[in-house]
Amino acid sequence: MTTVQIVLDSIDKVKSFVSDITHFPTDFDLISGRYVIDAKSIMGIFSLDLSKPITLNIHSDSNMDDIMKSLDPYLYKG
C-alpha cells in the first residue's frame, strides 16, 4: 500500500480525479479524519472536507508508475 496527500479543491478536479483513477483495477481509499471513503465514489468525496489535503491510500503494488503519473495533478506539493 502507498499513501499520498492530494488536493481536490474544485468540482472539476473531483470529476477528473475520479475519471482518472477509475481506469485502474485497484482500490483507492480517501481518509479524512475518522472517515474512510472509496475514492472512486464522487458522492463520497463530496461528503469530505475538501478545503485541506486528503490522504489517499493506494492498495496496489503493480502499475504504481502509471498510477502516480495519473495522480500528479492532484498531489499536495505543500
Local confidence band at 78 (pLDDT 50, 70, 90 cut-offs): confident
52 pLDDT band (50/70/90 cuts)? very high
pLDDT mean across residues, the chain: 94
Average pLDDT over residues 12-25: 96
pLDDT at residue 62, as a whole number: 87
> How far is it, in rounded angstroms, from Cα 19 to Cα 34?
25
For residue 31, pLDDT over 90 is answered with yes
Looking at residue 61, what is its pLDDT? Answer: 84
CB 57 within 8 Å of CB 31: yes
Q: How far apart are CA 26 and CA 76, in angstroms?
A: 21
- At CA 22, angle to CA 20 and CA 24, rounded to 5? 95
Q: What is the DSSP letter of 75?
A: B
- The pLDDT of residue 40 is 97
